[in-house]
């Protein structure tokens, strides 16, 4: 049952009054949330529910050992190893399947990939490290299972931590504090929550779907049949498609969580207007980038062991980020490209000063150069082999056979205007939310109904899946 489906919407609307009828007891609300989350996983596949249940029980027992026994660090490493082994076995099984088939025959069984395994694995590692550092007390079994299986985030994040999280937007409240509270919950700014849901649907269903249907999919399937401008429109379009898809999903689940009385960490902060690659990673998929910072980059030594060692740590962190996204060599190459760009930025700023890029070219050129690099590197995400990547690069250099399409010029212009005006569009959204909050509640239904009618009229047919659910 996808999040973007009539069935899910009806179930969520039916669940809300049941959930808020238990407002006097947050503990009972947690049990209702847990039941809803496990049922949601069962609707996907019963094995997805069993996978997260056994995983949560194992992490719960290890967390108790970390808190109570003398060799706490040993048990911490046992928990991390278990989490990574579980993730690696399922996530990278396809990479080694040819070897298994060669050894055991072509009929070697396929494995079911547990839903959200990457996300709850990272959450588990952060949880165990927090227990080891005595940042909070261990969660009880039910709350820990809810932390890993929370149905708004299980598909594609954001990566919620039990403890607080610091990112570019400041400190974000952790899940443990919100789950264990005895204070009755309240909906968090319901007008903003509903607007987030509407915005997420517009990004995911309309904008991302439109780009995929009209530009990205046709050109990437046969790049050498299109002219150079169409190829560039498809490459830039895929970058926007990824952004609309993933940030739209995040807006949707943040809005749902707010209606349930929970605050989830923000995952995007205008990343396509970043002035360099470091700024991009501070704004794109922030719960992943801060996780990599806190649990890979800093434990490797961070910036504490000299400039050269810092660049090695950066490169290792970005390579691991690439591997996390998938098991193919193209993802490793993508991580290496971003790591090399990171090292280049750090080296230039070390030699020429911390504001080198914006001082030399200004914000506009720096944003354009960063966006160009991001878009070109994302070709690796969309293509399945390096041969397909090469064909797309040939089309970008004019190797295609198609005639110039003026619609490509128009699309490139629209994307440029969006990139230029995005801060104003974000401000307009915030102004719209404030105005809606001043209106009576009964009028909200008319506003939302009008939004949905417009969206249904302009959106492509069908309900698209979430791209990042594949990573």
Helix orientation angle between 228-259 and 190-201, rounded to the nearest 10 degrees: 150
Q: If you search the block for the tokens 């990479």, which residue do you land on?
A: 95
- Give the helix ranges, DSSP H, for 222-262: 228-259
CB 170 within 8 A of CB 286: no
Establish whether 325 is a catalytic residue.
yes
Residue 82, CA atoms < 13 Å, CB-side half-sphere: 20
Q: If you search the block for the tokens 């400190």, which residue do you land on?
A: 171
Burial of residue 199 (number of CB atoms within 10 Å: 0-12, 13-18, 19+): buried
Tokens of 283: 């704004």
Q: If you search the block for the tokens 């009880």, which residue do you land on?
A: 140
**What is the 8-class DSSP label of residue 31?**
H
Q: Which of 24, 45, 147, 325 is catalytic?
A: 325
CB 98 within 8 A of CB 36: no
Q: If you search the block for the tokens 């007891």, which residue do you land on?
A: 25
End-to-end CA distance of the chain, in Å? Answer: 19
- Provide, for the chain, the percentages of residues in helix, strand and coil under a 3-state DSSP scheme, each rounded to the nearest 5: 70, 0, 25
Interatomic CA distance for residues 141 and 179, integer angstroms:
12
Interatomic CA distance for residues 132 and 67, integer angstroms:
7
Return the ∠ at Cα 312 (arms to 309 and 317), rounded to 5°: 125
- Dihedral class, residue 331 (left if φ above 0, else alpha if ψ from -120 to 50, else beta): alpha
State how far Cα 327 lies from the chain centre.
18
Instruction: Give me Rg for the CA atoms of the chain.
Output: 23
Taken as a whole, the chain contains a residue count of 471
Q: Checking DSSP bridges between strand 165-167 and strand 170-172, what pairing results, if any? A: antiparallel
CB 250 within 8 A of CB 267: yes
User: What is residue 461's three-state secondary structure?
Assistant: coil
**What is the 8-class DSSP label of residue 166?**
E
Interatomic CA distance for residues 85 and 73, integer angstroms:
18
CB 65 within 8 A of CB 179: no
Residues 6 or more apart whose CB falls under 8 angstroms from that of 276 comprise 345, 357, 366, 370
Active site residues: 325
């Amino acid at each position: 049952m996808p999040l973007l489906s009539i069935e899910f919407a009806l179930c969520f609307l039916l669940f809300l009054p049941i959930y808020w009828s238990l407002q006097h007891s947050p503990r009972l609300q947690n049990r209702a949330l847990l039941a809803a989350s496990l049922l949601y996983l069962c609707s996907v596949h019963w094995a997805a529910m069993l996978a997260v249940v056994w995983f949560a029980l194992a992490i719960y027992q290890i967390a108790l050992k970390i808190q109570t026994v003398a060799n706490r660090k040993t048990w911490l490493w046992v928990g991390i190893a278990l989490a990574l082994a579980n993730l690696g076995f399922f996530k990278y099984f396809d990479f080694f399947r040819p070897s298994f088939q060669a050894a055991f025959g072509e009929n070697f069984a396929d494995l079911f990939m547990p839903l959200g395994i990457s996300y709850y694995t990272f959450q588990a590692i952060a949880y165990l490290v927090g227990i080891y550092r005595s940042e909070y007390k261990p969660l009880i079994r039910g709350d820990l299972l809810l932390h890993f299986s929370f149905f708004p985030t299980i598909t594609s994040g954001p990566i919620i931590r039990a403890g607080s999280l610091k990112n570019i937007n400041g400190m974000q409240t952790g899940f443990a504090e919100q789950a264990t509270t005895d204070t009755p919950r309240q909906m968090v700014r319901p007008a903003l929550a509903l607007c987030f849901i509407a915005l997420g649907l517009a990004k995911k269903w309309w904008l991302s779907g439109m780009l995929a249907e009209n530009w990205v999919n046709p050109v990437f399937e046969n790049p050498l049949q299109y002219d150079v401008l169409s190829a560039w429109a498809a490459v830039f379009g895929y970058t926007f498609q990824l952004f609309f898809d993933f940030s739209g999903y995040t807006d949707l689940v943040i809005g749902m969580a707010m209606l349930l009385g929970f605050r989830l960490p923000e995952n995007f902060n205008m990343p396509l207007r970043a002035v360099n690659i470091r700024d991009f990673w501070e704004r794109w998929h922030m719960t992943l980038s801060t996780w990599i910072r806190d649990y890979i980059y800093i434990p490797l030594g961070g910036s504490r062991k000299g400039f050269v060692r810092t660049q090695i740590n950066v490169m290792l962190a970005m390579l691991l980020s690439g591997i996390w996204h998938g098991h193919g060599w193209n993802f490793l190459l993508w991580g290496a490209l971003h790591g090399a760009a990171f090292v280049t930025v750090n080296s230039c700023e070390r030699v020429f000063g911390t504001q080198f890029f914006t001082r030399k070219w200004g914000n506009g050129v720096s944003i354009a150069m960063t966006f160009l690099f991001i878009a070109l590197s994302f070709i690796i995400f969309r293509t399945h082999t390096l041969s397909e990547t090469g064909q797309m690069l040939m089309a970008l250099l004019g190797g295609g056979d198609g005639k110039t399409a003026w619609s490509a010029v128009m699309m490139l212009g629209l994307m440029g205007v969006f990139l230029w005006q995005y801060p104003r569009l974000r401000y307009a959204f915030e102004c719209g939310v404030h105005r809606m909050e001043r209106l009576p509640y009964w009028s909200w239904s008319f506003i939302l109904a009008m939004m949905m009618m417009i969206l249904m009229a302009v959106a492509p047919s069908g309900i698209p899946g979430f791209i990042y659910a594949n990573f």
